[in-house]
Structure 1
């Protein structure tokens, strides 16, 4: 490609192979997509070194995408198990995977992931800095932080979470206003601690232009992290969150000036009635940049079920403008997720994303629902299983209590409404319901 980034290519009227692929997948004209990428309203995260990538577009008018978090931690350093999670994410259609490894052979794991996975790969470089440089947090230098970004970029990472909006101005607001849950972002808390320990400005903010030069060189999309996202509904839409979002809006423009693509990260925990306004606020303050949200989790009282609280919030968020959902598993706030947790989180996020796409009229979103409804009307179970998000689970449920007649399921049996209507409208003159009547006890009246 003769241009450094997807954004630069689009601004100059050049159709990259990645843009052509996204246009074909989304059913959108290349010219229309090119305008969206050029303006920053759509990002195509595609590191020039990620050769296994199947590119996806994130942003205005496109399908809502989902991300799966995984990675090696000190309490569970099982590399093969994390790769199983990668395969599971690919199987169930996750478009992106964030490697949040912070322990052990992080580079080795990340390299294997990039070499083999077609998903967009994201990282949070600040997690890796402590282990890689084997230093105490206060001894890491600003240049160290930039160097770890370069290492990730050179390895082929497509997008990176960088908490550059946590600067002295937004920190001042946070300290003045106070919060119930303080800072719940892992990367944000590390940078806040570094700033307090060293007395220095956030290195990603202070050296933002140098950071952008690294990202531009490899066409890495910057995902501007929300260090001050609310960690409880008590903290949602507070002064700290808005102060950081304002800073992120300015950083978005500075990235676009360099031709670097941008995602903006958002909350967090948030009550239902605040979600729509927050989506509109982000789009306004951040100039229409694609919005990447964690949840939002709409209540704080459901540990063990936070894939549900997040899916509720995610559906509302995406229906009101969010473009990219980060999955949440049932293990959120409790432990590193296992394979079952990962699957539950992916499915919940996919349901939320698809429901939102229907609501906002994304091209072709209703087609899958039309097809499965046709299969249901015909009671074509094999087609129903094929079209389901999780056909294996649907089949297992159906076959766990097999019906006497496969033109029904064990819920309704011979009283199946669909089967009854098919027969009556097909001209059948006798609907046989015998076998459904319960035996009467002596003296009981017939109803």
Structure 2
């Protein structure tokens, strides 16, 4: 990275068009000037650690395509880094825009380095998890130095964005005590910090020493994804006082980070009923000054384990329509187990559908072109054309092969009753 600027936001404010900005512009319906203006304001983030040498940069934010993220990583019970790396490569095959390593067991540093070396999309982590894994200490014995040493390691390893639950301060912790929830705290990072604060009597180290965090992020150009430690894990808990209290704090931290030339994304809920999704998107954009919004789901019902990729896609499409910029995928295994490779594919495809549906709904320039091509192919019974337009051509072709029609130009659903075939010559 040129010494003329330290971070992407710093470069944009100085009028420098970086190689990463050029890569973003290649794939987005936005002008060069609009891109630079929005990066300078913090309304677009380009997570691009200067140590991630093979990165093909992507932008997240206003006026860009809705991006999707894939979570992976090992646990104590299921620990195969090779399997997780294969999932990462599958994510690339199915056109995910980002990969997050949430590993909580084993040689996390070694796996993280492999991931950065082999995966060219933006990569995220949660250093809070890795601090417990790395130090092997009980939560209350972790020191402030331990917390920040992990962040430094991740930054040096080339991680492009880190989730830090800096907004869960003592005031927010008190709020969740005085506003009881049906499902408490469901964020792993939020729960770890809440436990550390409760057992040590100290303030959240990332809130209290936020400038120290910014020093690390500025030095390596790491984007902070301000985590929602108090996101709702139940429909009943959606949009409650603790969630909003934390969101207000995240907005304050966002402005401070921008003042230090550090890029920010805001993480959002969570479990949210359909009628509150739009309100949540608008609240975040208002309270966090139009920073890019990264949402988990949202999941619009609590009762579909095994199908939560669908509950998430429903919420994700609505969220993207109303301003969400980045969707974290949810797999059918959510709430049940570590996802398999098949689960990962299902989660990716559901999120991609949601993201594209959101882009269509908000009128993103050029988003509907592929839909029109598909419609033309359907209207002319051009099956090869339909497969080329499909998000998952292999699956579409497999379905057609499994049930061959007696007449090649139709399908086995309608056969001779095919509406398109009957009126094709009449229109």
- Common topology (TM > 0.5): yes
Would you say the 8 A contact 2:272–2:298 is kept in 1?
A: yes
Structure-2 separation of matches of 1:282 and 1:137: 31
Shift of 1:380: 1.6
Structure-2 separation of matches of 1:130 and 1:27: 42
Residue 318 (structure 2) aligns with? 316
How many residues in Structure 1 have an aligned counterpart in Structure 2?
425
Structure-1 separation of matches of 2:398 and 2:330: 24
> The residue matched to 1:161 in structure 2 has which SS?
strand
Q: Which moved more, 1:401-410 or 1:215-224?
A: 401-410
Structure-2 separation of matches of 1:79 and 1:60: 35
**Residue 348 (str. 1) matches residue 350 (str. 2):** yes
Residue 24 (structure 1) aligns with? 26
Would you say the 8 A contact 1:167–1:202 is kept in 2?
A: yes
User: Which one of the candidate residues 95, 104, 107 is aligned to 1:105?
Assistant: 107
Would you say the 8 A contact 2:281–2:324 is kept in 1?
A: yes
Residue 229 (structure 2) aligns with? 227
Shift of 1:124: 0.2
**Residue 371 (str. 1) matches residue 373 (str. 2):** yes
Shift of 1:78: 1.2
Structure-2 separation of matches of 1:52 and 1:379: 42
Structure-1 separation of matches of 2:29 and 2:278: 27
Deviations 1:204-226 (A, max 9, x none): 11110010000010100000000
User: Which one of the candidate residues 69, 73, 76 is aligned to 1:74?
Assistant: 76
Structure-2 separation of matches of 1:115 and 1:325: 24
Shift of 1:384: 1.2
Residue 430 (structure 1) aligns with? none
Q: Which moved more, 1:107-116 or 1:131-140?
A: 131-140
Residue 400 (structure 1) aligns with? 402
Shift of 1:357: 0.1
The structure with the larger Rg is 1
User: Which one of the candidate residues 269, 272, 283 is aligned to 1:281?
Assistant: 283
Structure-1 separation of matches of 2:222 and 2:344: 26
Structure-2 separation of matches of 1:221 and 1:71: 20
Task: For 1:27-426, list aligned pairs within 5 A.
Answer: 27-425=29-427
Q: CA RMSD in A?
A: 0.8
> The residue matched to 1:265 in structure 2 has which SS?
strand
Would you say the 8 A contact 1:44–1:57 is kept in 2?
A: yes
Deviations 1:63-97 (A, max 9, x none): 00000000111111011111111111101111000
Would you say the 8 A contact 2:29–2:64 is kept in 1?
A: no
Structure-2 separation of matches of 1:261 and 1:362: 24
Would you say the 8 A contact 1:228–1:244 is kept in 2?
A: yes
Structure-1 separation of matches of 2:370 and 2:208: 48
Shift of 1:423: 3.0
Would you say the 8 A contact 1:307–1:330 is kept in 2?
A: yes
Structure-2 separation of matches of 1:142 and 1:402: 64
Shift of 1:279: 0.4
Deviations 1:426-446 (A, max 9, x none): xxxxxxxxxxxxxxxxxxxxx
Q: Which moved more, 1:78-87 or 1:3-12?
A: 78-87
Q: Which moved more, 1:76-85 or 1:230-239?
A: 76-85
Would you say the 8 A contact 1:221–1:261 is kept in 2?
A: yes
Shift of 1:119: 1.2
Residue 16 (structure 2) aligns with? 14
> The residue matched to 1:26 in structure 2 has which SS?
coil
Structure-2 separation of matches of 1:114 and 1:404: 50
Would you say the 8 A contact 2:42–2:291 is kept in 1?
A: yes
Deviations 1:147-169 (A, max 9, x none): 10000000000000000000001
Gaps of 5+ in 1: 426-447
Q: Which moved more, 1:381-390 or 1:267-276?
A: 381-390
Structure-2 separation of matches of 1:205 and 1:424: 69
Shift of 1:394: 0.5
Would you say the 8 A contact 1:45–1:120 is kept in 2?
A: yes
